[in-house]
Amino acid sequence: MKDVKLEYALKNGKLVSIYEVEKGLDCGCICPHCKEPLIAKQGACREFHFAHLSGNICELGYQKSIHLLAIKILNECKEITLPSVPLPIKFSNHTFSVIDKTHVKIDHIETEKKVNDIIPDLIAYINGRPLLIEICVTHKVDSNKLRKIQNSNLPAIEIKLSQNKSILSEEEFKKLLIYETHNKLWLNNPKANKYYEKFIKASEKLPLYSIDDITHAKNCPKQIRYIENEYYANLYRDCVNCKYSLGFDAGNVYCNYNTKLFSIEDVNKKLEESC
């Protein structure tokens, strides 16, 4: 990441911008992370920014300031656009969307609250239900936290707020946080997980076999490989890149070639027929 400068600091417990304070030590600000006194640098040639009085290079100060800014803006605006929710298929070449992009009202925001052994950056309550929000400035959610989130049965998104240019106005920041969706990623969505289970149930199962120590799916409807009078597909070379594969587990590949499930309606119909 580019060397980004601290533009927001705490003054009497409130988040303030470099543009709304006095110059130098008179700004009366402290670092949101380490709480050291800051100097407001408002020179003519260089970009305005806060520097630690001690000269300390405090990497977490910037990250913490962006978290606080996000919380402040969400608290003020009380709305957010959520990206469409893809079917959580194990292969990346699928684009099923099970829930469309939506713009929602937020009832209220909570921070530093533990739910199901997870402390998300913030929790937004929408129609009384929690949505966990992780703010990504320099680091994505680590794998341990991600696993906990995915086991939680709670919806969660990650919002990427790192920037390529060091100065981002509050308006630009607000656009990125509230309205944009390209920078928002679903970490978990219980509704989509449920749809995925249905897709798996309704799809065709191709049993996996090891042939010469390579995993193959038997009865590949695309008839990709012909081995000893049977049609197969190589799991990692063929199925993983095949647009009809919905995923696999230890025993089967879930194949959509014959079942042609391209919407929730298709799946429900198929499951009704098989009942």
The binding site for Zn ion (CB under 5 A) comprises 31, 33-34, 58, 61
Taking the least distance from each CB to Zn ion, the nearer of 34 and 39 is 34
What is the DSSP pairing of strand 85-86 with strand 8-11? unpaired
Q: How far is the CB of 52 from Zn ion (least distance, A)?
A: 6
Taking the least distance from each CB to Zn ion, the nearer of 34 and 264 is 34
Asked if residues 33 and 64 have their Cβ atoms less than 8 Å apart, the reply is: yes
- Residue 94: how many other CB atoms lie within 10 Å: 17
Taking the least distance from each CB to Zn ion, the nearer of 54 and 93 is 54
Q: How far is the CB of 31 from Zn ion (least distance, A)?
A: 3
Asked if residues 103 and 114 have their Cβ atoms less than 8 Å apart, the reply is: no
Asked if residues 206 and 220 have their Cβ atoms less than 8 Å apart, the reply is: yes
Taking the least distance from each CB to Zn ion, the nearer of 58 and 168 is 58
Taking the least distance from each CB to Zn ion, the nearer of 58 and 98 is 58
- DSSP H helices, the chain, are 59-77, 143-150, 170-174, 190-202, 264-274
Q: How far is the CB of 64 from Zn ion (least distance, A)?
A: 8
Taking the least distance from each CB to Zn ion, the nearer of 34 and 77 is 34
Q: How far is the CB of 66 from Zn ion (least distance, A)?
A: 13
Q: Find tokens 């680590």 and name the residue.
A: 142
How many Å apart are CA 32 and CA 18, to the nearest integer? Answer: 13
Q: How far is the CB of 59 from Zn ion (least distance, A)?
A: 8
Q: How far is the CB of 16 from Zn ion (least distance, A)?
A: 15
Strand partners, 153: none
Taking the least distance from each CB to Zn ion, the nearer of 16 and 58 is 58
Q: How far is the CB of 48 from Zn ion (least distance, A)?
A: 17
- DSSP assignment string, 150-218: HTTT--EEEEE---SSS---HHHHHIIIII--TTEEEEE-HHHHHHHHHHHHHSEEEEEEEETTEEEEE
How many Å apart are CA 202 and CA 41, to the nearest integer? Answer: 62
Three-state DSSP state, 244: coil
Q: How far is the CB of 70 from Zn ion (least distance, A)?
A: 18
Strand partners, 231: 226
Taking the least distance from each CB to Zn ion, the nearer of 31 and 85 is 31
